[in-house]
Structures are given as structure tokens and as C-alpha cells.
Structure 1
């Protein structure tokens, strides 16, 4: 593995108007954490949930949270590095593809 990936899931408690019927942002965050951990065991990464209406004090998160709101992005919005890799109903395939750019490799369990 080349570089440990930091994944951010930007969302809110209230489901976005265009995402009714989909899991909440926090449920998506928990699902992604479990799925990525299973796909890439023993390959460290961090995943953090960011509430877009109450982001942490770190400036980059405040700026991106404002962008999600101002641009009416479908949340949750999933980022890796500076890339948006999922929006609304993120696809694992897209997230895995981005992680593999950083050297993550699927581990087969037999």
C-alpha cells in the first residue's frame, strides 16, 4: 500500500430531499466503514463522518460542508483526497476504484 487513505462522509441527520427512501448519511457512513474494512483487511484507512450543518473547526471541512449546502449536492457526499467519489447513494465500486489508485488491494479470504 502506498498511502493511507482518509475518507470523509459529509452528510446530515435529515435525509436530503432528493434522497428520500435511501439510508441516512450516518447509516451510509457505518455501511461504508464495514464494507471497506472487509474488502481491505489489515490495510489501514481512516473514515470520518462530517455533519454539514455542524462541521469541525478544521477549515477544509467547513469549506467543503458549505459547498455541499450551497451547490445542493446530494448527501452524503463521500470524498477521498480532493475527489468526490460518491454522492447521494455512493457506489462501492467507485470508492474501491479510487482506493486502488492509492495502492489498496483486495484480500481473498479462503
Structure 2
């Protein structure tokens, strides 16, 4: 069974979220997730994307979500697997792994 392509998007900023003092920065989380997922899964079907919420968004869906983050005062980083928000603030690997399993991403052999 071939895994479908999976998009992992991390929304964040260089400045650490005020409510997440002591947590790693968004860019660090982005890099950590890639390493952690790559150790457990065949990450060939996975595309990673980092969106800095303080930079002008190139895509409409990112711009709209950044507006939502501000309006709803969401904690970042925020992690999406495809169109499903799976983490807000400090991400939990188990939750992200469960979502990858749902999408048929294959474990490392």
C-alpha cells in the first residue's frame, strides 16, 4: 500500500509565544518534528512547510489562517497534517503520529 502525499504545515514566529515561556521556538519545533518523524516513518511522502505568521503570506489559505490565529488568540506553533489542526502550542508527538497513521504513512523498516 503506497502512502498518500501528506502535507505538514507549522505556523509560528521567531518570537516565542508569550503563553509558551520555556518552550522551544516555532522554527526549532519545525526542525524537531522533521527529525522525529523521519526517525519513525518513511517520510518520502511527507512535505513539510513552515509559515512565519509575521511575514506576508503568499497563499490565501495561510493568510486566512493567520488572521484566525490573531482573532482567536491561538498559541503557536500550530501544526497541521493536511487540513487537520493536530497541535496548538507545544505539540505532542503521539497526536501527530496518530494522524500520520490515519493517512497511511509507513513506519521505517
TM-score (norm 2): 0.91
Aligned residues: 108
Separation (CA, whole Å) in 1 of partners of 2:44 and 2:58: 28
Moved over 3 A (4+): none
| CA distance, structure 1, for counterparts of residue 43 and residue 32 of structure 2 | 18
Measure how far apart 1:42 and its partner are: 5.2
Determine the structure 2 residue equivalent to 1:49.
50
Partner of 1:70: 71
Say if 2:67 is the partner of 1:61. no
Once the two structures are superposed, residues 31-87 of structure 1 have per-residue CA deviations (whole angstroms, 9 ceiling, x without a partner) of 001111111135320111101121431100111111112211110000012211011
Normalized against structure 1, the TM-score is what? Answer: 0.91
Unaligned runs of 5+ in 2: none
RMSD, aligned CA: 1.3
Does 1:97 find its partner at 2:98?
A: yes
For structure 1, list consecutive stretches of 5 or more residues without a partner in the other structure: none
CA distance in 1, matches of 2:87, 2:58: 24
Structure 1 pair 65–35 and aligned structure 2 pair: CA distance change class (3 A)? same
